[in-house]
Amino acid sequence: MSCIFKAIAVLPALAAALLSALPAQAQVVTLTVIETVIETVEIGTADAALDYALDDWTLDGEAPLAKNPQAPPLAIFGPFRVTDAFTAEMYGTVGSATPSQFAAMRAAYPELRALRMIECPGSDDDEANLALARMVRAANIDTIVPAGGSVRSGAVELFLAGVHRQADSRAEFAVHSWRDDLGREANDLDDSDPVHREYLDFYRDMGLGDDVARRFYALSNSVPFDKALYLQPAQLAVMGLLSVI
């Protein structure tokens, strides 16, 4: 809200009328009138602006950002937030401690059946990531990526561990080659190297057929570690890797 003040000189006729009422010896008087003008600007509230940012802001004009949980989680175990007795959400990177954190969560909430992957940028420890994925599979847990959810790098392997895999059409996935501690990437090794077999066996253990496992592994390794290939859920659905919701 702003105020504008204007000084307006009195009209000659009004001045003459006022002066005629004064004694002759009176001094000449100059009268000034101040007019206050108030302008109102509708700016909304901070809450309204926040709601707009959460509801309508998009990435590249497409998927809206996934919102943080509205209610406090029942419990937090590393990157996992338990939202009810049957569901946990995941935010963050898989590290060496994540498998034990998942085990603790399962012990406390044995009826968990769904893992919603909200913001999952990947892993700092590939061995821990594959071990966690096998734990998810053994627990018969479904993996779900909601609208605005993002699953990237090693988190895609974790997503594939779901017994049933679902993703909203506005979710995003990103893959790239792995890199080992020596700085080698997948395409630096011979096709016969046993490291390739480790990944292919993992995909088969997650329910992928041999052909699909090889195609997905080749797709991931078509992009160097320092870059990323972004994929839409529909592209993964064509390969039989998920169902679009």
What is the tens place of the pLDDT at every residue in 30-87? Answer: 444 434 333 333 333 333 333 323 333 333 434 444 445 467 899 999 999 999 999 9
pLDDT at 167: 98
Residue position matching structure tokens 């006022």: 18
Compute the CA torsion angle 193, 195, 201, 207 (nearest 10 deg).
-120
pLDDT at 236: 96
In angstroms, the CA 237 to CA 217 distance is 16
Instruction: State the pTM of this model.
Output: 0.70
Mean pLDDT score of the chain, rounded to an integer? Answer: 80
Domains of the chain, by residue range, sit at: 2-39, 58-244
Mean pLDDT of 122-140: 95
Bigger pLDDT: 165 vs 4: 165
Predicted pLDDT at 70 = 61
pLDDT in tens, 72-125: 899 999 999 999 999 999 999 999 999 999 999 999 999 999 999 999 999 999
Please name the fold of domain 58-244: 2-enoyl-CoA Hydratase; Chain A, domain 1 (3.90.226)
Q: What is the b/e burial string over 149-159, where b = at least 16 CB atoms within 10 angstroms of the residue's CB?
A: bbbbbbbbbbb
